[in-house]
A = this chain, B = another copy of it.
Amino acid sequence: MQTAEFHVSSNRRTQFISITSRINALVVEQGWQNGVITVFVPHTTAGVTINENADPDVATDMESFSDELVQVHHGFRHSEGNSDAHLKASFYGSSVQVILKNGKMWLGIWQGIYFCEFDGPRERNVYVAFSG
């Protein structure tokens, strides 16, 4: 098992940020070949998901629907006022797994990996582990 990490900066409260090219670069840099990578977000108000990498309207639709589904002013108890962000983080999840074949991520042609910010703007981290 080998690990790496990198930083992501968000500039809105809810923001899906493509990290596909960052992870591709990491895979090449580390020389990882065949195995499974775990992309892990070490935050409780952000998540990670795999979705369409072509039309940016898909990410925009995901951002707006998430905010409608779990509204900020819902009468939550948590005093920091960001329970909606915690819930969204768990709905999308804290990690994704991608299979690596011959040094390339074995993704579908339209798939990209998105860091899902739900309580930005913030400086965030992403952890990656490779198991050969």
Please list the residues of chain A having a beta carbon within 8 angstroms of any beta carbon in chain B: 1, 3, 34-36, 38, 40-44, 49-52, 55, 57-58, 60-62, 65, 69-70, 74, 76-80, 83, 86-87, 89-101, 106-111, 125, 127, 129, 131-132
Contacts and interface: CB of A to CB of B under 8 A. Distances in A.
Number of copies: 3
A50 B94 contact: yes
B78 A36 contact: no
A108 B42 contact: yes
Main SS at interface, chain A: mixed
A49 to B, nearest CB: 4
A80 B61 contact: no
B58 A78 contact: yes
B61 A86 contact: yes
Contacts of A43: 108, 110-111
